[in-house]
Amino acid sequence: MLKRFSKKDFTATNILIIITILMYIIQINISQGGLFLGLNLYFLVYDFWWQPLSTMFAHGGIAHLGMNMFVLWQFGNLIERFRGAKELVALYFITGIVTSLLSFLYIFYLDPQVNLVGASGAICALLGYVAYFDKTQRNGIITWVLLISVAPLLIGLPIAWYAHFIGFGIGFLYAIIRR
């Protein structure tokens, strides 16, 4: 039987996940959706001003989406439980957009052919935030960020490792400011 939804199911984390899934469905159903919603040189060339935000909701495939939403579910719920929904939403959007803008600088100056998609930068910001507050888990979280950033490169997957590192640093800095 289908479980009845209750008010407790409508957490900020779950709403972010639902929005991301809906945006992915939109992305794959519009022509060149990844280029339109991802972060690339169209941001400047064609004034696609929404890209620093929309790139957080665009993804490179169902596996990419699933992985990111799983980690968002884990760490988003943790942050929401201990710091509140407002803190989670502010953290996710502020650090996600800042990470996108700083990642765009990398793209602009070093790799202009890139189309950046995914919530990984914002999610790594959540990891940086948690790493600041939970010193006992810090080394494990740093190791995890290194692993998810470097291991895919070693097997030839084109991932935005720099967005992971930038996001982690921005999340850590956000935690210092918000403590």
Catalytic sites, residue numbers: 120, 164
Kindly state the tokens that stand for 83: 């710091």
Give me the phi and psi of 52, to 5 degrees please. Answer: -60, -25
Q: How far, CA to CA in Å, does 65 sit from each of 59, 68, 132, 162, 169?
A: 6, 5, 26, 19, 22
Residue 29: phi and psi, rounded to 5, are -105, 5
The DSSP H or E segment spanning 149 is: helix 138-154
Report the C-alpha gap between 76 and 161 in whole angstroms: 21
Which residue, chain included where needed, has tokens 């760490």? 75
Half-sphere exposure of 10 (CA within 13 A, CB side): 4
| Cα of 53 vs its chain's centroid, Å | 10
- Tally of helices (H runs) and strands (E runs) in the chain: 9, 0
